[in-house]
Amino acid sequence: MAEQVIKHIFLAEDDPDIMEVIKIILEMQGHQTTLISRGDEVLPTIKKMKPDLILMDVWMPGMDGREVVKILKQQESTKEIPIIMLSALSELEAIAKEADANDFVHKPFDVDFLVEKVNKYI
Amino acid sequence: MRGQDNKLQTEVEIYSPKQLSVSALLGTLVAGGNTDTITSNVEAITHLFRNMVDAFEEGIIVIDKWGRPIYVNRSVADNCGFTSPNAMLKVPLTEMLLRFSFKDENLRPISRFKLPETQALRGKLPPATTMLCYDKRLNRSWWATAKAEPILNATGKVDGVITIYRDITAVKEAEMALTRLNTELETRVRERTEELRRANESLETEIREREKIEQALRTSQAQLTDAQKIARIGSWEWDVVTDQIAWSDELYEIYGVKRTDFGATFDELLSYLPPEDRKHMQQTVQQAIDKKEAYTIEHRIIRPDGLTRTILGKGSVSTDSKGTVIRLSGIAQDITDRKELENRKDEFISVASHELKTPLAGLKAFTQILEKEIQMSGNAVAERYIQKMNGQISRLTGLVNELLDISKIESGKLSLSMKYFDLCHLAQETIDDIKHATTTHTITYEGSVTKNVHADPDRIEQVLINFLTNAIKYSPEGSLIEVRCSQNDTHATISVRDHGSGIAPDHQEKIFDRFYRATTDGSGLGLGLSISHAIIEAHSGTIGLKSEAGKGSTFYFSLPHIKDGA
């Protein structure tokens, strides 16, 4: 944390408590967060501002996280944005691979492990 | 007419050795003449008569009024075995009476007083009588008709009797043979009728039996049909040579096809499958034929009414004496409902897993943040509590994971992310992690391998952690836990040895069974080892233990390593 460059992270998560705790963790690291609680709100939001990293839950209302990641990874304007998928689904590794996400973190997670993964991409 | 003259001439020659012509004789008699001439003529006539009477086939017996034979002709003498009539006449009457006996047509004895000649002696004129004569001396019987007539003198008194016997043995025998034949024929007809009746009876019995069997067959056929209906299982047979498929009723139901609408060929069958399932079906069946082995296949069908159903098919191959495949037969079951239920169950497990883990995720993350806060504030008591909370959260996470694992294993959905890695490195890393959390036991490690394994490292780590936590749980504090990593030509093996109480042989067999717990003390669901067992099996590895009560246990697993250390 020697380098204090403020990074902007999108967090798409429908569970308010999980959303809050991840927001706290990211902000403790000095990052700025944009919180999105519906899958179908990710794409409109991204048109307005481009994040440095996206943390994406799989099961979300409106649009499934898988679909969102696939579209983001196919769009020329967004395909370079690193995406880490988060889920309590045990087949998360396969889901992330299929959607072409950069990485994945199983829930429940160790705070330090999540921080490590986030720092790997920003 | 000349022929007739000649015949007469011949007869005369036989009966008249002296060459006397009958007309001459008669002429002489009629003309009268002198005594000498008459005497000689009477002699000649007597002689002629004798000759004539002797020539008769009929037997002629003349008896006097006392019943003594005074004349018998040659036929009688011959019949009774005498050289001449005179020889016979010399035999005393009593002897003759004892020698012959007679029976009537019904073979009842005829008393001497009832004989025609006896009756005739009494002046009666008995009718011709048929009788069986028996000659005791010659032991010979013959049938005869006897006609007796009294000889009356001038005063009308009976002077004797002349009896004429006609031998009718041949006729009688023929008659008897005919009767016998007739009787035999009747017997045969009766027997044959009886035989036919019996045959008829057994035929009727057989028909009844057959009807019973047919009824039983119909019943079992109906039961089979019912059973197929209830189980939604149809049976089929495919004649490979003629490409004709025979379906049971239920199979038509499953396919939603009428019997008349199904062309019963393999190609037609394929047409009911969605295009993406056809190739798999063709390949599976072809392979079964090529390898002459049974197969199981799951495929979908699209029924004429548009419904999609999932079918579980099983088939086996029949060959002729030369080993050529001639027939495939098997069953097809509609498993759509089961499949849906399975899918729902899988979905439920997935949702349950997600819903259980999500609050755990929140709990864990908040606790860890709290821990960091407390660490900074320097509250040692609160820090100890928070560590306890972390431990409980880990335990809860572990239990949830175990339940999910066993659900996956049960439904055959245990997925593996295969990677190439060094099993010993993995073991060392795992031990390092465990050592951090363990203060009660000393864990040692030795060994190395030169070849990699191809496995899911997370799952293999899970097995090793299971071994290590068990060793910690079931061996006394302060004791040693020894981990060894080794290899042979084909496998890499990791073993974990503890110095606990050991496991009795009867527990050893069951220790990898689901929900089995060797002891009632200690916590856990009793799933750890059965999950480990399933994981190692899914890797085509082996898992086991060696243990002796009181001397500790050694749990091990082996994984096949790849050929050239890839």
State the pLDDT at residue B522.
59
Element containing residue B359 per DSSP (H, E): helix B336-377
Q: Closest chain A residue to B366 measured between Cα atoms?
A: A21
Show residues of chain A in contact with B363, CB under 8 Å: 108
> Distance, in angstroms, between A25 CA and closest chain B CA?
8
Structure tokens that stand for B456 in this block? 């899911």
Nearest to B358 among A18, A90, A110 (CB): A18
Element containing residue B333 per DSSP (H, E): strand B325-334
> Distance, in angstroms, between B385 CA and closest chain A CA?
18
Please write the tens of the pLDDT for every residue from B222-246: 888 888 888 889 999 999 999 999 9
> Distance, in angstroms, between B432 CA and closest chain A CA?
17
**Among B440, B499, B434, B445, residue whose Cα is nearest residue B468:** B434
Find all residues with CB under 8 Å of B51, minimum gap 6, and list them: B14, B15, B16
- Residue B235 main-chain phi, psi, to 5 deg: -115, 155
State the pLDDT at residue B94.
86
Please write the tens of the pLDDT for every residue from B246-276: 999 899 999 999 988 888 899 999 999 999 9
Q: What is the 3-state secondary structure (H, E, C) of B449-483?
A: CCCCEEECHHHHHHHHHHHHHHHHHCCCCCCEEEE
CB atoms within 10 A of CB B508: 16
Percent of chain B residues topping a pLDDT of 70: 91
- Cα–Cα distance for residue pair B284/B560, rounded to 1 Å: 29
**Among B397, B414, B398, residue whose Cα is nearest residue B406:** B414
Residue listed under structure tokens 């080892």: B529
For residue A108, cis peptide bond before it (omega within 30 degrees of 0): yes
Instruction: Report helix, strand or coil for A102.
Output: coil
- Cα B7 to the chain's mean position, in Å? 84
**Among B543, B550, B546, B558, residue whose Cα is nearest residue B512:** B543
Nearest to B358 among A88, A91, A114 (CB): A88
Q: Closest chain A residue to B360 measured between Cα atoms?
A: A108
Please write the tens of the pLDDT for every residue from B69-115: 999 998 889 888 899 888 999 988 888 888 999 999 888 999 888 89
Nearest to B357 among A22, A94, A108 (CB): A108
Contact B362 A89 (CB under 8 A): no
Please write the tens of the pLDDT for every residue from A9-18: 999 999 999 9
Residues in chain B predicted with pLDDT less than 50, given as ranges, are 1-26, 28-31, 565-566
Contact A108 B417 (CB under 8 A): no
**Among B453, B551, B548, residue whose Cα is nearest residue B507:** B548
Show residues of chain A in contact with B347, CB under 8 Å: none
Q: Closest chain A residue to B350 measured between Cα atoms?
A: A89
DSSP string, B191-209: HHHHHHHHHHHHHHHHHHH
Instruction: Report helix, strand or coil for B484.
Output: strand
Residue listed under structure tokens 């019996």: B198
Amino acid identity for residue A96 in this structure:
A
DSSP tag of B561? B
Best of A14, A20, A21, A23 to disrupt the B interface (most B CBs within 10 Å) is: A21
Nearest to A90 among B364, B368, B404 (CB): B404
Amino acid identity for residue B409 in this structure:
I
- Provide the pairing of β-strand B480-487 with B442-446: parallel
State the pLDDT at residue B328.
94
Show residues of chain A in contact with B456, CB under 8 Å: none
Structure tokens that stand for A121 in this block? 């991409």
**Planar angle of CA A55, A60, A63, nearest 5 degrees:** 100
E strands, B119-180, where? 129-135, 140-152, 158-167
Show residues of chain B in contact with A29, CB under 8 Å: none
Using a CB–CB cut-off of 8 Å, the residues of B that contact A are: 350, 353-366, 368-369, 372, 393, 397, 404, 408, 415, 417
- Residue B546 main-chain phi, psi, to 5 deg: -125, 130
Contact B365 A89 (CB under 8 A): no
Structure tokens that stand for B518 in this block? 């060797």
- Residue B531 main-chain phi, psi, to 5 deg: -65, -45
Contact B461, B483 (CB under 8 A): no
- Cα–Cα distance for residue pair A60/A80, rounded to 1 Å: 23
Find all residues with CB under 8 Å of B461, minimum gap 6, and list them: B426, B430
Nearest to A89 among B354, B372, B397 (CB): B354
**Among B464, B472, B496, residue whose Cα is nearest residue B482:** B496
CB atoms within 10 A of CB B305: 7
Show residues of chain B in contact with A24, CB under 8 Å: 369
- Residue B478 main-chain phi, psi, to 5 deg: 85, -10
Helix axes B380-410, B336-377, angle to 10 degrees: 170
- Cα–Cα distance for residue pair B18/B25, rounded to 1 Å: 12
Contact A122, A90 (CB under 8 A): no
State the pLDDT at residue A5.
74
> Distance, in angstroms, between A91 CA and closest chain B CA?
8
Q: Closest chain A residue to B413 measured between Cα atoms?
A: A91
Amino acid identity for residue B494 in this structure:
I
Using a CB–CB cut-off of 8 Å, the residues of A that contact B are: 15, 17-18, 21-22, 24-25, 28, 59, 87-91, 93-94, 107-112, 114
> Distance, in angstroms, between A26 CA and closest chain B CA?
11
- Adjacency order of strands within the sheet including B553-560: B442-446, B480-487, B491-497, B553-560, B542-547
**Among A30, A76, A20, residue whose Cα is nearest residue A50:** A76
Contact B34, B14 (CB under 8 A): no
State the pLDDT at residue B42.
78
pTM of the model: 0.55
- Cα–Cα distance for residue pair B368/B562, rounded to 1 Å: 41
Q: Closest chain B residue to A89 measured between Cα atoms?
A: B354
Contact A10, A51 (CB under 8 A): yes
- Cα–Cα distance for residue pair B49/A108, rounded to 1 Å: 156
What contacts 24+ positions apart, CB below 8 Å, involve B8-13?
A: none
Nearest to A18 among B356, B362, B393 (CB): B362
H-only helix segments in B74-168: 74-79, 85-89, 93-99, 116-121
Q: How many CB pairs under 8 A join A and B?
A: 62
Best of B357, B367, B400, B459 to disrupt the A interface (most A CBs within 10 Å) is: B357
Q: Closest chain A residue to B355 measured between Cα atoms?
A: A88
Contact A96, B366 (CB under 8 A): no
DSSP string, B78-102: HHTT-SSHHHHHTS-HHHHHHHEEE
Residues in chain A predicted with pLDDT less than 70, given as ranges, are 1-4
> Distance, in angstroms, between A108 CA and closest chain B CA?
4
